[in-house]
A and B are shown apart, each in its own frame.
Chain A
Amino acid sequence: MSTAVDRFDDKARATFDRIGQNEVYEGELLRHRVYTRFLHWMVALFFFPALFTGFGIYMPWLFRWFTPIFGGGALSREMHPWFGTGFVIFFGLQMLNWIKPMKWTAADSKWMRNLGKIASGKEKQDLPDTGFFNAGQKLQFWEIVGGSVTFLITGIVLWAGTRTFGRWAVAVSYILHDISAVIMLGGIFIHLYLSTIGEPGTLQAMIRGAVSEAWAWTFHPAWYKEVTGRDPVQACEEARQRGEFVGK
C-alpha cells in the first residue's frame, strides 16, 4: 500500500486513541484500538439496516412484516441505498485500516486445510502459526471487500435505474447484487456466532478493545508470541498446571 494511506491510517488511529480509550487490564492484551472499533460498529450500524431493508426488497412476500419498521416497502426501498452507501464508506476505511494484517500467507492455506478439525472441536488450540487474523477471518474480510465492490457498482446501476443504464444492466446487476447479499447473509450468521457464544471472550475485543492472554494463546498463538515474546503452547501448559481454568 502507498504511504499516503499509511499516514492517513496512523493519523486516524492516533486521533481516535486521544478521543477514546483502550481499557486493558492486568493479564490482557490490546487487540483493537479505538479507530478500528469505531469503524467496526459504524459498518454494523449501516450493515443491518441495509440488510433488513434489503429483505423487504429481496422477498417482499416473505419479509413484508419487516418493512413497517422502516415505514413501509416504498420507504425501505428509498432508504436502502443510503444505508448501503454508509456501509461501503465505513467498510472502505476499515479495509484500508486492515489491509496489511489481512494479507494471505502460507499459514492461512494450512489453516484452511485444518478447518474441519477446528470446526468439529477436535483441535482445542489453534495452530502455532495463526497470527493476528486467522484464515477464516481473512476469507470473510476479502469476501466483504469483493461483495462491497459488487454492491457499489451494481447498486449504482440499480439506484439510477433502467432509464440511465438500460434494461439489461439492471437485470444483470440485480442478480449480482442479490448473490452478493446472500453470501454476506450467510457470512453474518457465522460472524455473529463466532464473535459471541461460539468463541466466548471474543466480543470484548470489539467493545473495550482488549482480550485475555488465554484467549490470545488459544485462538491466535502467533500473535500472542509476537506481542508477549512467550511461547503460546508453553504458556497454556503453565496455566493448566497452575489450575487457571478459564473456559468451561
Chain B
Amino acid sequence: MSDRKTLQIRQISGHSGPSAGFDMQRDAEVCKLIDTTICIGCKACEVACVEWNDMPFSPTTFDNTYQTMPETRWNFWNLIKFNEHQREDGTIQWLMRKDQCMHCADPGCLRACPADGAIVQYTNGIVDFQQENCIGCEFCVSGCPYDIPKFNPATKKVYKCTLCSDRVGGGLEPACIKACPTGCLKFGTKDDMKFIAEERAKQLRENFGFEHAGVYDPQSIGGTHVVYVLHDAENPERYGGLPKNPVIPWSYTIWKWLAKPVLGTFALFGLVGVLLHYVTVGPRRTQPEPPLKKEA
C-alpha cells in the first residue's frame, strides 16, 4: 500500500538499525493533529477512510453509545470513540476521540515483527504494513500500545491505518483530513502541528478554563506522528484506551533484536560441532574393533 518511488524507507521489521539508503533524502516528518475539543463526532473521517481504502461494508454494533463499533477492525481503521466522563461536580463531559494508528516514532509493532519488510517506517514517520511480507504471527498486536493492528482470518494477515501513505506519497493529505468539516483534523509537518497544538492547548488553558489542557505526544515511545489536543492531558485514559505512558515490552528489544540472532547462530554450531566430531574424533564403534595397524 505504499508508493516506493516517493517514500523513503527509514527502517523495516526483521532488521535492526536503519535500512540501507536511509537519510539519502531528508523528508519532513508528517503529522496528523486531532483536536478532540472541536470534534463533533460526525464520523465523516470514518466514511472517508472506508471509502478511500476501498473497504467492504463492516457491520456496526450498537452498544447504547454513538460509537460505530467497539474497536477498530482489520477493514475499519478509523473509529471515533465516544466516552462519557463524569466530572466531580456531577456534570457529564462527552469526550470524542478519533482512534487510529498513532504512527509512533519507535513503533512497537515494527519492533515485535519478525518478518523482514512486513512493517516499514518511512523517513516521513509513517508506519506502514506490507501484507505481502506479513506471516500473520500477530506479534505486532502485542507490540502495539494502542491495540491497533487487526488480524484478518481470511487472508491470515494483519492490517491497520496507513496514514494514507499512498495519498501522502502523492502530495495529498490523508482522506480523513480531507473529510473533516470542523477543522478538528489537520495535517502537516510534525513541527508545524506541534506548534499549532501547543497554541491551541494554551488557548484552552487560558481562555476556556481547561486548566489541564495539553498535547498528547508521548515521549516514552519517542513521540507519535498523530498528536491529540486533549481537554485533560493528565488523564488520557478517559478518552478510551489512550495510555499515558505507552510502553513496548522489553522482550522485543532484548530478545528479538539482540539475543535471538546470537542464539539462533549458536544452535547451528550444534550442526558444525557434530560434523567436526565426526571428521576428527570419529564415530564410536561397536566393540571389538579390529586392531589398529602397528607403526613400523
Contacts and interface: CB of A to CB of B under 8 A. Distances in A.
B232 interface: no
B114 A57 contact: yes
A105 interface: no
A238 to B, nearest CB: 9
A25 interface: no
A76 B251 contact: no
Residues of A contacting B: mostly:
helix
Contacts of B151: 161
A197 B288 CA distance: 17
Given A64-B116, A76-B135, A189 B271 contact: yes
Interface in B108-166: 112, 114-116, 118, 133-139, 141-145, 147, 151, 155-157
A73 to B, nearest CB: 3
* Interface range for B: 35 or more
Interface string A164-196: 000110111011001100110111111011000
A179 B263 contact: yes
A60 B287 contact: no
A60 B285 contact: no
B94 interface: no
Interface residues of A, number: 64
A214 B285 CA distance: 10
Interface stretch (A3-11, A37-45, A88-96, A239-247): A239-247
Contacts of B20: none
Given A77-B156, A174-B139, A174-B251, A59 B286 contact: no
B263 to A, nearest CB: 5
A212 B9 CA distance: 63
Interface in B175-211: none
B287 A247 contact: yes
Interface stretch (B47-55, B56-64, B272-280): B272-280
Q: Pick the most buried of B115, B252, B284, B289: most chain A CB atoms within 10 A of its CB.
A: B284
A240 B116 CA distance: 59
A94 B267 CA distance: 25
Nearest to A241: B288
A189 B286 contact: no
A66 B141 CA distance: 25
Nearest to B15: A61
28 contacts: A58-B264, A59-B260, A60-B135, A74-B156, A74-B157, A77-B156, A121-B281, A121-B282, A125-B287, A162-B142, A167-B145, A167-B249, A171-B112, A171-B143, A171-B252, A172-B251, A189-B267, A189-B274, A190-B274, A192-B274, A193-B277, A197-B283, A198-B277, A218-B286, A218-B287, A245-B288, A245-B290, A247-B287
Interface of B: 14-15, 112, 114-116, 118, 133-139, 141-145, 147, 151, 155-157, 249-252, 255, 260-261, 263-264, 266-267, 269-271, 273-274, 277-278, 281-290
Interface of A: 56-62, 64, 67, 72-78, 118-121, 124-125, 161-163, 167-168, 170-172, 174-175, 178-179, 182-183, 185-190, 192-193, 197-201, 212, 214-215, 217-219, 236-237, 239-240, 244-248
Question: Which 3 residue pairs spanning A and B have beta carbons closest together?
Answer: A247-B285, A73-B135, A171-B249
